[in-house]
Structure 1
Amino acid sequence: MGVWKRMAQGGGVAALAAAALGAGLGFGQLANAQAPDDAPTPGKLVYDQYCASCHDKPEPGSRAAPIGNLRKMSAQTLTTVLTTGVMKPMGDQLSRRQMRELVEYLAAPAGPLGTEWIETAMCARGQREVDVSGKPAQLGFGVDLDNSRRMSAAQAGLKTKDVADLEVAWTFAFPRTSSLRSQGVVVGSTLFYPAGQTNYLVALDTKSGCVKWASELPSPIRNSLAVGRLGPKGPLAVVGGDNAGNLVAVDAKTGKVAWRVDPRHDKNVPLSGSPLFHEDKIIVPVSAMDVANAMRPNFECCKSHGAVVAVEAASGRTLWTWHTMEDAKPLGRKTSTGVETYGPSGAPIWSSPAIDPRKGIVYTATGENTSPPATKTSDAVVAIDLSTGKDRWVFQALENDVWNMSCPIGPPPPGQPLKPNCYFANEGSVLRDHDFGGGPVIFRGKGGRELILAGQKSGDVWALEPRGGKVVWRHTFGPGTPLGGVHWGLATDGVRVFAPISDPNVPADKSAAGMHAIDVASGKIAWQWKAAPDCEGDRKTRVPICASRYGLSAPPLVIDGAVLAGSLDGRLWVFDAVRGDVLASYDTARTHQSVNGLAGSGGSIDAAGLFAGDGMVFVNSGYAAFGQQPGNVLVAYRPKAK
């Protein structure tokens, strides 16, 4: 549809949801209306058959969302998850009628129609100009090319004392949204932000939250945004990957789509990690989804693998692709259901890259293999030539981590039957799912000392030599879990590296949930802070997960001399970077009065949890995945008025 002036014609998100659910994915009111009062609805029957075993009472450590979280998702979100997202393997087993009945049964009330949630918050006509002449506060997810997640006081417009005494300036609530996984970028007084789980990209005024422009895209943006110029003489643009696997470039000043391309080598894999501009290139990480597809007993496991793609900034044209492995081939064996097997596969790239222009290297990190044979590029840090796309070195942190979601964690007990697509479980795999969820960090210390830092879901933090990937030091915090250890990434202040640990469902005596600071030059622990649950007062009611999900999963952010980190129970923590003292904490997991008139509710802070710019701190509050607390608000903080 295009930008704001054309949105009202198409009914906005509601129209898209109707289109997605139409033509066989519409609602089944007639079937339900004809059912006796005491009979289960058709959707309930579908849920009981295909979903209840995982979602009614998820096991501790399970990635399955409880049914209460599913009921807070919109019809559009549920349909996307079942048709193109992580639950596609389950969705593929449903007929079109079963799909619409299931979505009708689970979906939250549709909420506002049309674009009123945008119209209500439009800036006054004389205040909608977007000034793109200033330097961006950050290039993207990692703030800079080093992926350091470090902002000076000048970059953030904030000093340490400011972030120790914040107040809520405004909140913006998004319709039909239960999770916020994308980080925005700030240029001058404008915040560019993917609008929750809707199809909109919005330009917001940093101080008030009013909307300068809103661009309706064909598909929601899935990852965090990057900002840069589309060629030497091109416009400033914000770029992100959408749910359909396309890379989308939007003119920052006007909100018009400059180009939309598909850079993937495999049309069945998503763009999860955030892109990064460098001069005339955009570096794009590519992940894979067979880790989830393998849950389907009749799925031919497994074929997809990760990649890194360089595209031309001006046009989106692919320049080179580095693959984590060769294409999968038949393994010459069949599963217990008689299905052909394939490999190697996996090593998806979930995270943002780092770029060293002087050395001409892109650094990236990978996930586990999803079928054998194990490759040397899984659970690894990789250095790739920026010009040619050929790898220079590969450091593998964990060998033989072949795993998918049909497998147990760790070797199965003797005699335990294996699910069909975990046919390799007793053939040497460690079955850990200890991939790198966060990207590498280029550390630049005093005297020109450089190291590559990486955090792993095993609980490990690694320091590597930039030439060759040799291990300099290593620290292990806690036992690690598929959702624990270092989940989404690290941050550094140029002296220390800060490692958040989540460790959900790990017993307290073994858990390392909290923040861990390491002096990078010496490799010694600088300080540690252990997280603890807070279920006092009304928090137990507001945050039902408070006793089990309180670690730090989202990557931290350094601002001046402070480290900011979000927790899975919705709290924002501020630490002194040198000593580790808690300077402040703020609770986002509550109801919020939004500037756009929608009901706002905070929840877990995860994935791309927080960012800053123009004297403001922005927090994504709400992340319904993995049994965590749903939410739909972007919370903007400012220093308290004196």
Structure 2
Amino acid sequence: MTAAVAAAALGVGLSFGRIAPAQAAEEAPPGKAVYEQFCAACHEKPEAGSRAAPVSALRKMSAQTLTTVLTTGVMKPMGDQLDRQQLRAVVAYLAAPEGPTGTGWIDDNRCDTARAKVDLSAKPAQVGFGVDLDNSRRMSAAQAKLSTKDLADLEVAWSFVMPKTTGLRGQGVVVGNTLFYPAGQAGYVVALDTQTGCVKWATPGGVRASLAYGRLGKDGPWAVVGGDAAGNLIAFEAETGKVAWKVDPRHDKTVPLSGTPVFAGDKIVVPISAIDVANSMRETFACCKAHGAVALLNAADGKVLWTWHTMEDAKPLGRKNAKGIEVYGPSGAPIWSSPSVDLKAGVIYTATGENTSPPATDTSDSLVALDMATGKQKWVFQALANDVWNMSCPIGSPTGGRPPGANCFFAAEGSVLRDHDFGGGPLIWRGPNGAKGGRTLILGGQKSGEVWALEAASGKKVWRHQFGKGTALGGVHWGLAADAQRVYAPIADPGVPEPDNAAGLYAIDVASGKLAWSWRAKADCSGDRKARVPSCDSKYGLSAPPLVVDGAVIAGGLDGRVYVFEAASGKLMSTFDTAVPFTGVNKLAGSGGSIDAAGPFAGDGMLFVSSGYGSFGQQPGNALIAYRPKRK
């Protein structure tokens, strides 16, 4: 499953369903008939494990969000089936009542003169999703300006509520006392004061994932860069918010940018996902053509220097699906994670997902090393072969669960049907001696629940651990974190019954490959939590990647809880519940919810949490929360 689908506001999207009776259509809003004809089959009562958002979640989305997803987002092929009148009608029928409009949520919270300046003289606390080019998600106490002791006793300093938003899937970056943040569904990138949350600048540009920070060429301005829902990569000058350039780096204009780009010297590495995994639900869709890629861009102007493809372009397979539609392959192996980069060695490491149509390729469910200078493949390690799957397929046996759909035409032809992507990007682990000769390994986490350690030079397996059996939305979903001794693996496993559920956090001693400690997550629906988080009894694992700060590990849960562990022992030092109402410093009322996709991040003495993720039946929310050490 691609991260584009994970971020899609409509989950699965539109498919043909029942048609409302004529009398009901006359009495009901016109959008109701459109919904029932095109949407209800997937969204009215999603089956267990479905990616489709229930209609109750759709009704919390803004008209802007619904329209964007249906016209430029991952559901555009489905939206293209509607004429303009039908599109407007179904959006009007589903959309939440309009809240605050305009830019009051920004303008009423502008910084005063003393705090408005963006000072870029400080070293950034992180350069992107993975904190550093190694994707370690590790920060020293000096980087974060937080100690282990600080993290054991936190309080909310401020919150910032995003309008027209049901989920926050992006992390920010912190430079000095400025936090750059992607308010994706709200349609802006904002620069906030770290201590107060006031707005230094705000620029239209709906960056849908996390931001990366770096310089636009050797002598260019410092900038934050991210991809929007239409597939554009946008560079915003960090000091002013001015758009420096906007380019479309994709080889296929239908595929999304879901992973976070990475500055690599004067270049930018851009991961490119794929989209047909969801399109395949439509039986008349010609499955499947899109595939993943990595593009290297010139940071100064966004020019594409080379593109590595996970496979060759799809070709007709000489057969048709059950609806008589010609089918194509190979396809898939999307890249929806942030790559890691070894600048000294000149190597880019990336991770891929499943194939979406046959023939299976050796680049799916894989960790891959690329030569940075040429884009040529150095090695591929495939963790699971023949994982051909799309959303018209059941998980696992083609005879178990729901029957294969028309675009799962290959179900009985040997595919393992697992959807066991590498969701998190590879992590470069350099050992206790770092650059002084310590062993360098590549670590990867997979939705199968497996954690892999490979030799960086060859891709040869060193060790492997598996936690639970894995699921399409479980296992290691969005990535790992590591320090000099241990790698920390979060396990999501939403809805997996005992005893197979492995939801929790696991620490592995990297040098030996032995399990150092483990912690199992448990459901908490006490008090009013069941009312605040209806899915609290089934979705409580750890999907977002953790963060190491000093001697602590911070992890966010699908039920909105934040956990702080002692890294050496696994001792739980503190827990915070983010799935509560908030009134933001920008005067909007909102709430937290599930923590997914975007992990905790830190800087300038603050811990930041993006709370709310309304996909997959999880708890919507729209609050960026800033924690500080509790004041005595």
Match of 1:20 in 2: none
Which residue does the alignment assign to 2:277? 291
Following the alignment from structure 2 to structure 1, what is the Cα–Cα distance between the partners of residues 349 and 491?
22
Deviation at 1:414, TM superposition (A): 7.8
Deviation at 1:57, TM superposition (A): 2.4
RMSD of equivalent CA atoms: 1.4
CA-to-partner distance for each residue in 1:266-307, whole Å, 9 max, x for gaps?
A: 100010000111111000000000111111111111111100
Contact 1:282 1:310 in 2 (8 A): yes
Cα distance, 1:415 vs structure 2: 12
- Match of 1:420, SS state, is coil
How far apart are residue 114 of structure 1 and its match? 1.0
Per the alignment, residue 383 of structure 1 pairs with 369
Aligned position for 1:151: 139
Indicate whether 1:564 and 2:580 are aligned. Answer: no
Write out per-residue CA displacement over residues 128-174 of structure 1, whole angstroms, 9 at most, x where no aligned residue. 11001111100100000100000000000100011110000000001
Once the two structures are superposed, residues 216-254 of structure 1 have per-residue CA deviations (whole angstroms, 9 ceiling, x without a partner) of: 23xx10121000011111111000011111111111001
Which of 250, 253, 259 in structure 1 is aligned with 2:239?
253
Q: Hey, what's the Cα distance between the residues in 2 that align with 1:192 and 1:415?
A: 45
- Cα contact 2:329–2:358 (8 A) shared by 1: yes
Deviations 1:334-364 (A, max 9, x none): 1121111111111000000011112210000
Matched, 1:336 2:322: yes
The Cα of 1:321 is off from its aligned counterpart by: 0.6
**1:434 equivalent in structure 2:** 420
Contact between 2:363 and 2:382, CA under 8 Å: does it hold in 1?
A: yes
Distance in 1, Cα, partners of 2:150 & 2:26 = 58
- 1:45-444 alignment runs, 5 A limit: 45-217=33-205, 220-413=206-399, 418-444=404-430
Q: Residue 13 of structure 2 corresponds to which residue in structure 1?
A: none
Residue equivalent to 2:457: 467
How many pairs are equivalent? Answer: 606
Structure-1-length-normalised TM-score: 0.93
State the shift of 1:417 in Å. 5.1
Q: What 5-or-longer segments of structure 2 have no aligned partner? A: 1-22
Change over 3 Å in CA distance of 1:472–1:595 after alignment to 2: same
Q: Deviations over 1:576-635 (max 9, x none)?
A: 101001000100001012100111111000001311100001100000011100001100
The letter for the 1-side match of 2:518 is: Q
CA distance in 1, matches of 2:178, 2:402: 56
Contact 1:89–1:292 (CA<8 Å) still a contact in 2? no
* In 1: Cα distance, 2:508 partner to 2:244 partner: 43
Are 1:203 and 1:212, in contact at CA under 8 Å, matched by a contact in 2? yes
Instruction: Give the Cα separation in 2 of the matches to 1:608 and 1:379.
Output: 22
| Displacement after TM superposition at 1:92 (Å) | 2.9
Q: Which amino acid aligns with 1:473?
A: W
> How many Å apart are 1:80 and its aligned residue?
1.8
The residue number in structure 2 matching 1:5 is: none
SS of 1:515's equivalent? strand
Residues 375-415 of structure 1 show CA distances to partners (whole Å, capped at 9, x for unaligned) of 00000000000111001000000000011111111121189
Q: Deviations over 1:456-513 (max 9, x none)?
A: 0000000001111111110010110110000000000111000000101111211000
Q: Which of 458, 472, 496 matches 1:482?
A: 472
CA 1:414–1:510 in 2, change beyond 3 Å: closer, same or farther? closer
Q: Specify the code of the residue in structure 2 equivalent to 1:623.
A: Y
Measured against aligned partners, the alpha-carbon deviations of 1:297-330 in whole angstroms (never above 9, x if no partner) come to 1111111110001000111111111110111111
Specify the alignment match of 1:495 in structure 2.
Answer: 485
After the TM superposition, which of the residue ranges 480-489 and 97-106 deviates more from structure 2? 97-106
Q: Which residue of 1 aligns with 2:586?
A: 596
Is 476-485 or 117-126 further displaced after alignment?
A: 117-126
User: Unmatched 5+ residue regions in structure 1?
Assistant: 1-34
The equivalent residue for 2:507 is 517
Letter in 1 for 2:48: P
Cα deviation, residue 38, structure 1: 9.4
Percent sequence identity over matched residues?
70
Q: Residue type of the partner of 1:539?
A: R
> What letter corresponds to residue 582 of structure 1 in structure 2?
L
Q: Tell me which residue corresponds to 1:31.
A: none
CA contact (8 A) 1:88 1:293 kept: no
**Contact between 2:547 and 2:599, CA under 8 Å: does it hold in 1?**
no
Partner SS for 1:78: helix
Q: Residue 523 of structure 2: SS of its match in structure 1?
A: coil
Q: Distance in 1 between the 2:378 and 2:147 partners?
A: 40
Query: How many angstroms does 1:112 deviate by?
Result: 0.9
In structure 1, the partner of 2:14 is: none
Q: CA deviation at 1:51?
A: 2.1
Inter-CA distance 38–307: structure 2 relative to 1 (3 Å threshold): closer
Q: Using the alignment, how far apart are the partners of 1:474 and 1:438 within structure 2?
A: 16
Q: 1:286 to 1:38 in 2, by over 3 A?
A: closer
Query: Residues of 2 paired with 1:446 and 1:115: CA distance?
Result: 49
TM-score, normalising length: structure 2:
0.94
Query: Residue 89 of structure 1 contacts residue 295 of structure 1 at CA under 8 Å; is this kept in 2?
Result: no
Contact kept? 1:345, 1:371, Cα under 8 Å: yes
- The question of whether the paired residues in 1 share the 8 Å contact of 2:394 and 2:403 is answered with no
The 1-side partners of 2:487 and 2:400 are apart by 41
Partners of 2:76 and 2:449 lie apart in 1 by: 30
1:16 maps to which residue? Answer: none
